[in-house]
A and B are shown apart, each in its own frame.
Chain A
Amino acid sequence: MQQFPPARGTGISAQANMSGMESLQHDLARMSRAPRLSAAVDNVDKIIELLSAAREQVAGALDPHTASLTMTKLQNPIKVAFDSVNDNLKEVSSAHKKLGKALDKSFPLKPLPADHDAMEGHEPLIDRAIAMHLLREGQFSVASTFVSEALSDGGSGRYVADVETEMTDHTMDVEDDGDDDLAQEVNITSYTTSPMSPSSSISDGHPLTSLQSDKLQAKFAQMYSILQDLKSRNLVPAIEWARYNSAELEARGSNLEFELSKLQFVWLFKGPQVNGLPDDPFSNGRLGALAYARQHFARFQGRHLREIQQLASAMVFAPNLAASPYNSIFATDDAFTDVAASFTREFCSLLGLSAESPLYIAVTAGALALPRLIKYTTATREKGTAWTTDNELPFETPLPERMLYHSIFVCPVSKEQTTEENPPMMIPCGHVLAKETLTKLCKGTRFKCPYCPSEGQLKDARQIIL
């Protein structure tokens, strides 16, 4: 693969034009007093008044003399009135021009890449992503409106129908796409080559669709209802959920169930004055907490013994917790927020979804990467190369750390990212190289590490999974 020069200079311009939008705001504020069309309307009213008055006079007298006199006298005022309307319009127009100049100055037009739309023809997939986004945001009514509108718009809705199928039936291989997309593309260019078959695919999977996005909706509705309960300090539904899914949560290395139970203990411990639960000494307050611990903490002992012991020791300090070393365990405000956040993350992860909306992340990343892309497309426009046809972007698009989700290994020799075909290999001295690099480095079966004096044999190098 060709080696690309590293993009130079990260920030395109360090001296950000901070005042651009603010100065525009300033200009616009001034324009709130700028001439508007309403002034012209007022002047038209004057014309109407003049005409009405004249009509009254002529109609009242109905003699030729009054008529001609009135009409002659009317000429000038009407002309003046029309002129002032005209002046109003001129002022309005010049206000618009000023606005246009202010826009150009503070917010100069920078053309977006327009010659190539990599997303074209993939609307059904975008529709699906949007529907899922709306559902996970809890915008259920918008989502159902969108699904029905997208469905009535040709066959594209089929993908929305797929959502649930893919969500639950994972036996379907990820690889088997492509042909659907192709079928979509055909719709666009069909008529010159084949007789039109407008929206023949509409009926595909129709009846199932609403039902299935209902299923996903039900899942997110459950999530929101649990979150709502957490907000009102009711941990029970969340604990039940975590309990129900404890095997997967543990497998993910998540402590959610214990964290929730611990918080429940603390919450009960605080007693009815704080938690507002029924004042029953056996299910609330210190005794209630103790009872809760006896009933539930046993199953956590293997993994969380130390923390359970801590909670138990805190009992001793009960009368004066604030001054005890356990104070921090018993501060609940942040704990509820934290637990809600990790609940959301685990809930989505178990659905195979990322915790934050992928659409949100992608669009935000898109806005961050766009300046680089435009810079590149502008520079290469003459050559007419489409940036989307390669495997790899030809330029770097730095994103904030939290937007990097996978480990990335760039071979220090070839400067290429490792892939499935060209995986990272660790050589005996512990250094890592891309497989292709290693093959090229070999003299016979032996090679010398480019980073330390040690030598090795090809058979001793082993593929690693980062």
Chain B
Amino acid sequence: MADLEASKINHENHLLLDQPLLRLPYELLRKNFRSAHFTFEKESTFVKNLLKETATGSLNGRTSPEDVVKNLDIMLTRMRGMKRKLSTYADDENKLYRQLDARVSHLSELSDMHSVEDVKYETWSRKRLDRLLVDYMLRHGHTQSAVSLSTERDMRDLVDIDIFVQMDKIKQSLLDHKVSDALSWCTENKKELRRNGSNLEFMLRCQQYIEMMRTGDQTRMIEAIGHARKYLAPYNDTYPVEVGQMAGLLAYRETTELEPYRSWYHPGRWTDLANIFVEEHNKLLGLPSFPLLHTALSSGLSALKTPACHASHSAQSRNNRLTRATRATRAALSSGGGGGGGGNGGNATVNDPTTTGSSHHSTSSLTTSVCPICSTELNKLARNVPYAHHSKSHVEHDLMLLPNGRVYGKERLEEYAKKSGLPPAGQVKDLVTGDVYTVDKLKKVFIT
């Protein structure tokens, strides 16, 4: 495998995971502008009309000077209100531009790096991991964790806490069986939702209706009919089946076993609504439908995984043995008067007969690090993904076969022999089992 090629940073495609980093503030800028524009249109039309009316009224004497003052006061109040709102939007805009600046400069740091072996790349990649973690936390509503991690790492401009907090608030209100927040969100984004063909608002209106029906209370049910006329009937062309079912709901109580009415009454619908909302929300802002960490992990776990990672003799099970041996040796150490070192670890018991004897039987390979897939953190998670495809063998140089069937690189065997204090030349020691053999028992292995 051409390692040089593999560690080269492919600039064009290295930032796939980072697309939302720039897209989101941009979408938010647009959204922020739309809100500002909407406020302006509404308030300016109102003030312009009132001004015109007042002027005409005043000219033809129908409006008294006192009323003119009153109207001017109204206009002033509206304008001050508009100024307040626009100032907030302007502040948000500045913040978004600042975030964009910070993000673009964070991303362009990568342009100077050409290899993943570059020390600067590790710093950059760790920052990316932190960003993905914050994204994951935010999507699960773990706001405190997200805030504390991003503050700790000084990257508040690189993460989107506010928007997710807002989203989580609406989601939670739905899970608490409240529709008002979600409905006003729908109103705010009416146009975009319609363009996306979203049924969220209709579903929310249905839920309102269902909740009224659920009470079984006569007046509330009459109210429900009024609600249906106003809010559900207009959807008759788009969702004829559902509107029909809503009408049918009149005949069934909450306790019905008959479908589809049972499902409509089911409290689990609130979870559905929350999910629909989250989906629409993310779609609207161009956010991926699941956390970026998932994408990164499923691709990364596969790329790293080998058939050996979940084999029955994997590092996991090897570690088990190691730990057991540890306990025994530690106990031996503290009982055998091991000087000033160590704490007061094990009880000074007699050595465990199962682990003494060949104390070196349980090691992982020569001071190599544990494979990340074999490590506790990811081992179970990686069970669900396929292992990487390799078209070429990747083994040590000068492989030697030990009589016990294990194969190691010559260099590593020699080094381990030296470190284990074996006589120079003549003997080697198995890195895993600890068996010692003379060199003439070794066989050369050819990997084609």
Please tell me if the beta carbons of B307 and A417 are within 8 angstroms of each other in the complex: yes
Please tell me if the beta carbons of B381 and A40 are within 8 angstroms of each other in the complex: no
Please tell me if the beta carbons of A358 and B375 are within 8 angstroms of each other in the complex: yes
Please tell me if the beta carbons of B149 and A360 are within 8 angstroms of each other in the complex: no
Q: A62-88: contact bitstring with B at CB < 8 Å (1 yes, 0 no)?
A: 111011100110110011001001100
Please tell me if the beta carbons of B341 and A407 are within 8 angstroms of each other in the complex: no
Please tell me if the beta carbons of B104 and A28 are within 8 angstroms of each other in the complex: yes
Q: A149-B145, A174-B379, A244-B341 are in contact. Are A251 and B391 (CB under 8 A)?
A: no
Report the nearest B residue to A433, measured CB to CB: B448
Please tell me if the beta carbons of B142 and A146 are within 8 angstroms of each other in the complex: yes
B87 CB, nearest partner CB in chain A, Å? 5
Complex contacts, A109 vs chain B, CB 8 Å: 19, 23
Please tell me if the beta carbons of B271 and A191 are within 8 angstroms of each other in the complex: yes
Chain A interface, >50% SS class: helix
Q: Most B CB atoms within 10 A — which of A20, A126, A163?
A: A126
Complex contacts, B66 vs chain A, CB 8 Å: 62
Please tell me if the beta carbons of A418 and B307 are within 8 angstroms of each other in the complex: yes
Please tell me if the beta carbons of A44 and B82 are within 8 angstroms of each other in the complex: yes
Partner of A247, one of B51, B72, B329: B329
B69 CB, nearest partner CB in chain A, Å? 5
B244 CB, nearest partner CB in chain A, Å? 20
Please tell me if the beta carbons of A150 and B142 are within 8 angstroms of each other in the complex: yes
A274 within 8 A of partner (CB): no
**A residues 317-370 touching B (CB-CB < 8 Å):** 342, 345-346, 348-350, 352-370
Which among B182-190, B214-222, B232-240, B294-302 touches the partner chain?
B294-302
Report the nearest A residue to B58, measured CB to CB: A68
Q: A85-B44, A404-B394 are in contact. Are A11 and B5 (CB under 8 A)?
A: yes
Please tell me if the beta carbons of A367 and B17 are within 8 angstroms of each other in the complex: yes
Complex contacts, A370 vs chain B, CB 8 Å: 13, 16-17, 295-296, 299
Report the nearest B residue to A404, measured CB to CB: B394
Please tell me if the beta carbons of B268 and A371 are within 8 angstroms of each other in the complex: no
Number of B interface residues, CB 8 Å?
188
Please tell me if the beta carbons of B302 and A40 are within 8 angstroms of each other in the complex: no
Which among B154-162, B201-209, B318-326 touches the partner chain?
B318-326
Complex contacts, B3 vs chain A, CB 8 Å: 400-401
Please tell me if the beta carbons of B392 and A130 are within 8 angstroms of each other in the complex: no
Tell me, in angstroms, the Cα distance from A453 to B26 when the chains sit together: 67
B280 CB, nearest partner CB in chain A, Å? 15
Number of A interface residues, CB 8 Å?
183
B252 within 8 A of partner (CB): no
Partner of B431, one of A17, A190, A253: A253
Q: B279-292: contact bitstring with A at CB < 8 Å (1 yes, 0 no)?
A: 00000000011101
Please tell me if the beta carbons of A464 and B5 are within 8 angstroms of each other in the complex: no
A161 CB, nearest partner CB in chain B, Å? 14
B94 within 8 A of partner (CB): yes
A153 within 8 A of partner (CB): yes
Complex contacts, B8 vs chain A, CB 8 Å: 11
Q: B123-158: contact bitstring with A at CB < 8 Å (1 yes, 0 no)?
A: 001101100110011001111110011001000000
A230 within 8 A of partner (CB): no
Please tell me if the beta carbons of A243 and B341 are within 8 angstroms of each other in the complex: yes
Please tell me if the beta carbons of B391 and A74 are within 8 angstroms of each other in the complex: no
Please tell me if the beta carbons of A362 and B297 are within 8 angstroms of each other in the complex: yes
Report the nearest B residue to A397, measured CB to CB: B303
Q: A31-B97, A363-B300, A370-B295 are in contact. Are A58 and B288 (CB under 8 A)?
A: no
20 contacting pairs across A/B (C-beta < 8 A): A19-B111, A28-B104, A44-B83, A45-B83, A47-B47, A92-B36, A146-B145, A170-B324, A178-B383, A196-B266, A248-B329, A354-B371, A355-B370, A365-B299, A368-B14, A388-B384, A390-B386, A405-B374, A419-B311, A465-B407
Which 10 A/B pairs are nearest by Cβ-Cβ distance? Answer: A366-B300, A191-B268, A243-B341, A358-B372, A170-B320, A405-B371, A244-B342, A366-B296, A16-B11, A247-B329
